[in-house]
Amino acid sequence: MMFLDQLNDYLNAGFSGIWIQTSEPNEVVQDIVQRQQTTPDWEPLRVWDVAKGLGHEGQCKGDPLAPLQVLLDARNEKTDQGHEKALLLALLNYHRFLANPVVVQQLQNVILHGKSARKFVLVLSPILAIPVELEKLFVVLDHPLPCTESLQRIAAELLADESSTAHPVDPGILEAATGLTRYEAEGAFALSLARHNSIEPGVLWELKAQMLKKNGLLELHRGQERFADLGGMEALKTFCTKALAPRAAGPAARGILLLGVPGTGKSAFAKALGNEVQRPTLTLDIGSCFGSLVGETEGKIRQALKTADAMAPAILYIDEIEKALSGVGGNGDSGVSTRLFGTVLTWLNDHASDVFVIATCNDISKLPPEFSRAERWDGVFFLDMPTDIEKNAIWGIYLRQFGQADSGIRAIGNAIPPDKGWTGAEIKSCCRLAALLDVPLADAAQHVVPVAQTASDKVAALRDWASGRCLSATKPGVYQSQQNHAPKTRRAIQR
Ligand SMILES: Nc1ncnc2c1ncn2[C@@H]1O[C@H](COP(=O)(O)OP(=O)(O)OP(=O)(O)O)[C@@H](O)[C@H]1O
Ligand SMILES: [Mg+2]
């Protein structure tokens, strides 16, 4: 098992401080105890928590310093070959005691001493909150969320309790339960059984959406948007459909970065993608994740990425990724931003799970250059102002959508107002206004102020930057900025 192998590597390499981020400390303890039976050079795991103390006698109850002293004083037994066995001390929820300078100092002493003495401190905590004095002394390990087989076992056990006949567990149920902890999954299964007498994926999705919200960074998006509701972007649509087509072997798609002019449908595309390729979409709210503590933010991000891993195959949608770097007020926290980005970048590069990242960005100047480097992504796409053909398609979509009622839109026939410099967002708002105010499109157009006008410098700079660097969302190949757009005349559109 991945986690235990990693732990074993760290122990062999002599890392005597190991911070294990987990919401399921008992599972971690159980995993280690099981592994120990096959690993003769580990001594039995000692577990301390403040309420129960150490071991059966409840030694050191209520005193966070005492278990450290026990470890310092302990003598390692020897293996048959005469090697010293590893002494492992697990401290549950020990982050609670790290505000005490004496505890921090003693922990430092123990870890430094433990390196040569083969004594290891494992801090089991749901958050990552390592005091600066100890930062260099700890390696961090994530305990993974339960795999499909574990969830299967939990569901099967509950179902067996309910009736004497064995039920096979539906794959849809397991899919809905991924990303939950064992405890949460058990609760969700039980709730569904109580409500419906069976395990219903609908109940699980509902609970999962709630549980994801508790993290504060992740939200489950389960919308009905389709590619067909978006005009243009043909190259981008084709690329994603192909990259995410189910296949038996070969590399999994990693993700794409969407850059572009505001209102060109970057967010709308990202939201439609999951539904289109039948994968759940997790939205990572990276802009709001600046907690008061560095460790808190970083821990939350790690937790969010872990959940995404567990939910594979999934889509991870990071909107306006540059916001993470501007942070709170845009200054004074560059250290936090950099570390946070480091965490995300490392995950982007290294994650082996089938999680496809779709990130959007409006302001490339705020991103560190290494983030937009092409090899990090399967594609970096630029969404320019829509072409005439694309605009026609977008008009068609929104005239249909808002023209259902007997409104002004119908009355004016096929005539559409001049739309030079308009994005999809402006076409949409024009159609919406016409329907709302019950006026012809030309009148509604008076109320539309295109972004290309209000921020023309920015748009020009963005185009320049993207030219030759990004892929075009419109047609296959590299985007080339065209400065001279053909003058617009009134066009008729097909409905
Ligand atoms: N090509 C398009 N086809 C259909 N609708 C579009 C298109 N482009 C934009 N829209 C609509 O315009 C609105 C704004 O789009 P969206 O929020 O996706 O833009 P964005 O590129 O994410 O903008 P921002 O950079 O400001 O976040 C949405 O309601 C979206 O549906
Ligand atoms: Mg957006």
Give per-residue pLDDT as tens, 255-285.
Answer: 999 998 889 999 999 999 999 998 889 998 8
Domain 2-142 has CATH 3.30.500.10: no
Mean pLDDT of 332-355: 76
Indicate which atom in ligand 1 lies nearest the CA of residue 386: 1
* Residue 333 binned pLDDT confidence (cut-offs 50, 70, 90): low
Is residue 29 helix, strand or coil?
Answer: helix
Which residues on neighbouring strands pair with residue 224, listed in sequence order? none
**Closest C-alpha to ligand 1, atom 15:** 265
Task: Tell me what pLDDT residue 335 has.
Answer: 63
Q: Taking the CA atoms of 460, 462, 468 and 471 in sequence, report the sign of the dihedral they define.
A: negative
Q: Which residue has the tokens 């899919």?
A: 175
Beta strands in 38-134 (DSSP E): 46-49, 53-54, 87-92, 119-125
**Closest C-alpha to ligand 1, atom 24:** 262
Is 2-142's fold the same as 221-383's?
yes
> Could you tell which of 266, 318, 389, 458 is best to mutate to test the pocket of ligand 1, judged by most ligand atoms within 8 Å of the CB?
266
First to last CA, the chain: 57
Task: Tell me what pLDDT residue 411 has.
Answer: 45
Task: Tell me what pLDDT residue 482 has.
Answer: 74
> Distance from the CA of 350 to the center of ligand 1, in angstroms?
31
Q: Does residue 113 carry a pLDDT above 90?
A: yes
Given its phi and psi angles, is residue 100 left (phi above 0), alpha (psi -120 to 50 degrees) or beta?
beta
Q: What are the φ/ψ torsions at residue 42 (nearest 5 degrees)?
A: -105, 130
Mean pLDDT of 133-140: 91
Indicate which atom in ligand 1 lies nearest the CA of residue 393: 3
Task: Tell me what pLDDT residue 300 has.
Answer: 79
Q: Does residue 334 carry a pLDDT above 80?
A: no
Q: Does residue 293 carry a pLDDT above 80?
A: no
Range name among 62-71, 360-369, 480-489 with the lowest pLDDT average = 480-489
Is residue 492 helix, strand or coil?
Answer: strand
C-alpha atoms less than 13 angstroms from C-alpha of 301 in its C-beta half-sphere = 27
Instruction: Give the whole-angstrom CA distance, residue 87 versus residue 41.
Output: 9
349-393 pLDDT tens trace: 888 888 999 999 888 777 777 777 777 889 999 999 999 999 989
Reported CATH class of domain 221-383: alpha beta
Range name among 50-64, 203-217, 332-346 with the lowest pLDDT average = 332-346
- Kindly state the tokens that stand for 359: 């990130």
Stronger pLDDT, 103 or 454, i.e. the higher one: 103
Whole-structure pTM value: 0.77
Q: Does residue 163 carry a pLDDT above 80?
A: no
Instruction: Give the whole-angstrom CA distance, residue 280 versus residue 22.
Output: 24
Q: Which of 47, 52, 55 is nearest to 28 (CA)?
A: 47
* Residue 173 binned pLDDT confidence (cut-offs 50, 70, 90): confident
Please check whether residue 394 is in contact with residue 386, taking contact to mean a CB–CB distance below 8 angstroms. Answer: yes
Q: Does residue 487 carry a pLDDT above 50?
A: no
Range name among 30-44, 313-327, 475-489 with the lowest pLDDT average = 475-489
Task: Tell me what pLDDT residue 408 has.
Answer: 45
Q: Which of 352, 339, 355 is nearest to 301 (CA)?
A: 339
> Could you tell which of 256, 423, 432, 474 is best to mutate to test the pocket of ligand 1, judged by most ligand atoms within 8 Å of the CB?
423
Is residue 8 helix, strand or coil?
Answer: helix
404-449 pLDDT tens trace: 544 444 444 557 888 888 999 999 999 999 888 888 888 889 988 8
> What are the residue boundaries of the structural domains of the chain, listed by start?
2-142, 148-215, 221-383, 388-472
Indicate which atom in ligand 1 lies nearest the CA of residue 229: 4
Q: What are the φ/ψ torsions at residue 179 (nearest 5 degrees)?
A: 95, -10
Mean pLDDT of 119-130: 92
**Closest C-alpha to ligand 1, atom 27:** 262
Other C-beta atoms lying within 10 Å of the C-beta of residue 45: 18
> Distance from the CA of 409 to the center of ligand 1, in angstroms?
21
Pocket (CB within 6 angstroms of ligand 1) = 230-233, 260, 262-268, 360, 362, 386, 394, 397, 423-425, 428
Q: Which of 65, 63, 26, 23 is nearest to 47 (CA)?
A: 26
Stronger pLDDT, 199 or 231, i.e. the higher one: 231
Percentage helix, strand, coil for the chain under 3-state DSSP, each rounded to 5:
50, 15, 40
> Distance from the CA of 327 to the center of ligand 2, in angstroms?
17
